[in-house]
Structure 1
């Protein structure tokens, strides 16, 4: 199937696959723009964890890129849903795989991510294996799906915590670090709760304003 990757180890990364190294390779890709298809091809069997982390991380940083949540939100929803389904390798439709970002913006994001990522990678290690085992990955996918939906909502500052939570989950899948995955769940679901509450509040405010206008 187009867009699906062969996966020697159930589509997941070996613990030695560091995201910082993958980003370094991505920054050296040719062309004026970096497309999701380029990242799929580069990350290979490491694509689930790497893509989730790369797509989510910019939302957790103070880097303003117009339309970013729209660009990454739907791919993250599809990726986390595929974790729930237990797919061995990620698949994205052609319309999403051709989405791209200017190389200058991609390089700016990777530079902003470099120091926080280096600090995180120093403490990540394989542990609590049950959390990142196949059954645990399905649960992480379900919780990550809720975060991805929150990330997709156009709420001011509503993307940071879900973005951080998904970044931790993606890194945890790469490093097989169950503790990091649990931390990502706590952070991300906190953000989901805030985003959901804000969405309800906005809906109520709009409804009340409409009622006032009709009176």
Structure 2
């Protein structure tokens, strides 16, 4: 941790990131053009803020949305992770980038995340930092891409646990917390196991139904 702000208040890395996220969205809301799209959100946060944007989009995937919203979020997360692996600035195709986002809802979400980050900082702190450093960028990015592909499967609720795990991992990467990263990895793997079991069950049910018709 380091001292920041008035009175030298000590804040964790993730608190500084989430405060930055809230401030950027509030500035956008106060601007002459407060309309928010996927591409503008990336512009506001910074086209090279890969880790912060992965956290933000995993949080967005927890919000209810119209059909296809979750898949759009998942493919966007995939693209951000791919750009992170190659060190590219993030650019989205117009098909995704021009989609609108609810700014007021996103501000409320980000404010709650900032509060949660302050509480989480009591338990999460920089440790095993080698698991979250620059050398971890490629393995983390590949894992995010793999989870994102799974989350495009349009079956309700099976993506919730992997998404929570990915959120924990992203939070921990920002906070340089290797222990938290491993905890998020376990949650993701548990979610993938549940998703695989659900898909297998759906396949078996469909096969049984087809056989009974025959």
TM-score normalized with structure 2 length: 0.77
Coordinate RMSD, CA, aligned: 2.7
Pair 1:146-2:146 in alignment: yes
3-state SS, counterpart of residue 46 of structure 2: helix
Once residues 144 and 99 of structure 2 are traced to their aligned partners in structure 1, the CA distance between those partners, rounded to angstroms, is 22
3-state SS, counterpart of residue 36 of structure 2: strand
* Higher mean displacement: 50-59 or 135-144: 135-144
- Determine the structure 2 residue equivalent to 1:97: 97
Mapping 1:61-100, distance limit 5 Å: 63-67=63-67, 68-83=69-84, 86-95=85-94, 96-100=96-100
Pair 1:106-2:106 in alignment: yes
Pair 1:176-2:164 in alignment: no
Once residues 158 and 82 of structure 1 are traced to their aligned partners in structure 2, the CA distance between those partners, rounded to angstroms, is 26
Contact 1:46 1:174 in 2 (8 A): no
Spell out, residue by residue over 1:163-215, the C-alpha distance to the aligned partner (whole angstroms, 9 max, x if none): 212212222332222222222211112112211221222122223222322x1
Contact 2:60 2:73 in 1 (8 A): no
Once residues 29 and 75 of structure 1 are traced to their aligned partners in structure 2, the CA distance between those partners, rounded to angstroms, is 21
Once residues 41 and 81 of structure 1 are traced to their aligned partners in structure 2, the CA distance between those partners, rounded to angstroms, is 17
Q: 1:211 to 1:90 in 2, by over 3 A?
A: farther
Once residues 128 and 51 of structure 2 are traced to their aligned partners in structure 1, the CA distance between those partners, rounded to angstroms, is 17
- Which is higher, the Rg of structure 1 or of structure 2? 2
What is the aligned residue count? 197
- Determine the structure 2 residue equivalent to 1:8: none
Q: 1:82 to 1:210 in 2, by over 3 A?
A: farther
Spell out, residue by residue over 1:113-161, the C-alpha distance to the aligned partner (whole angstroms, 9 max, x if none): 4543332244443321221233322222222223212322223222322
Name stretches of at least 5 consecutive residues in structure 1 with no aligned partner: 1-13
3-state SS, counterpart of residue 101 of structure 2: strand
Once residues 104 and 152 of structure 2 are traced to their aligned partners in structure 1, the CA distance between those partners, rounded to angstroms, is 23
Name stretches of at least 5 consecutive residues in structure 2 with no aligned partner: 1-11
Contact 1:159 1:191 in 2 (8 A): yes
Q: 1:82 to 1:192 in 2, by over 3 A?
A: farther
TM-score normalized with structure 1 length: 0.77
Q: 1:90 to 1:148 in 2, by over 3 A?
A: farther
3-state SS, counterpart of residue 100 of structure 1: coil
